[in-house]
Amino acid sequence: MTTRDQHAPIGIFDSGFGGLTVMRAVVDQLPDEDIIYLGDTARAPYGTQPLAAVREFALECLDHLYERGVKMLVIACNTASSAVLHDARERYDVPVVEVITPAASAAAGVTRSGNVGVVCTASTARSGAYADALAAVPDVHLRTRPCPQFVEYVERGVTSGPEIERVARSYLRPLQEAQIDTLILGCTHYPLLAGVISYVMGDGVSLVSSSDACARAVYRKLTETGMVNGGTEVGSRTFLTTGQPEQFRSIGERLMGKGFIESVSQFL
């Protein structure tokens, strides 16, 4: 394992903006940590691309974060997690945390009936990653529902209202008919739609955010390895994008609120 010290930053990678929900959850739980966030917006969305292409893009971005001296890599993208996790854990000598296993474990602990659903991108659905993560859990039956348009709505800033409600009802109807009692938000964009998804599914369905579950896994891993920063100052936040920095800042602030992103630099 790496000799990097506890004061090194955490590296968080996503295909675009959804991973900002993971970053916000990590900041809430670990406010002293320095964080470098890299969004591959020039090649997003990953959810409609072949997993081989996603693997290539993801490793390039993770390599860059590793070279910047991070003490942990966080793959804050369900599609990238399903494509690259095994390779990443062999490639880097720092802990690698992803979103799928923590979310699946959380859902298994929440469900009462064993009927669990996951909404995700098409690539994540094709990978079977959530089914694999829950395969060893007895009496849990998973229904997977790709919802590719959700990402487009989030990045347009449409997270409530009649238009997205109609789309949500169409996507979620099969899961309602399956009588699930727990729904995994299996894309890190989707927590930004939690309000409309919860409204459509009703009070009897518990939502599990892959972003929140991932942040808890980050906290646990840093604590177990003695790598929590533990300083007294608020950590720094550095943002990188493969796309246009000003566009990244504009969309990111629309999603996260003003002040969350101060400046953005270009990578690649």
The type of residue at 64 is: H
Task: Say how far apart CA 24 and CA 29 lie, in whole Å.
Answer: 9
List, in sequence order, the alpha helices (H) in 44-193. 51-67, 78-91, 100-110, 122-127, 129-134, 149-155, 162-177
Alpha-carbon distances, residue 8 vs 32, 102, 160 (angstroms)? 11, 24, 38
Q: Given the residues 61, 77, 120, 147, select the one marked as catalytic.
A: 77
To the query of whether residue 187 is one of the catalytic residues in this protein, the response is yes
Task: Say how far apart CA 172 and CA 187 lie, in whole Å.
Answer: 15
Q: Given the residues 120, 147, 187, 214, select the one marked as catalytic.
A: 187
Q: Is residue 134 within 8 Å of residue 142, measured between CB atoms?
A: yes
225 is in an annotated binding site: no
Tokens of 47: 């959810």
124 is in an annotated binding site: no
To the query of whether residue 61 is one of the catalytic residues in this protein, the response is no
64 is in an annotated binding site: no
209 is in an annotated binding site: no
41 is in an annotated binding site: no
Strand ordering across the sheet containing 264-266? 96-97, 72-75, 10-14, 35-39, 237-241, 264-266
Helix/strand/coil for 45? coil
Task: Say how far apart CA 44 and CA 21 lie, in whole Å.
Answer: 17
The type of residue at 152 is: E
232 is in an annotated binding site: no
186 is in an annotated binding site: no
144 is in an annotated binding site: no
Binding-site residues for substrate: 14-15, 46-47, 78-79, 188-189
Catalytic center residues: 77, 187
Binding-site residues: 14-15, 46-47, 78-79, 188-189
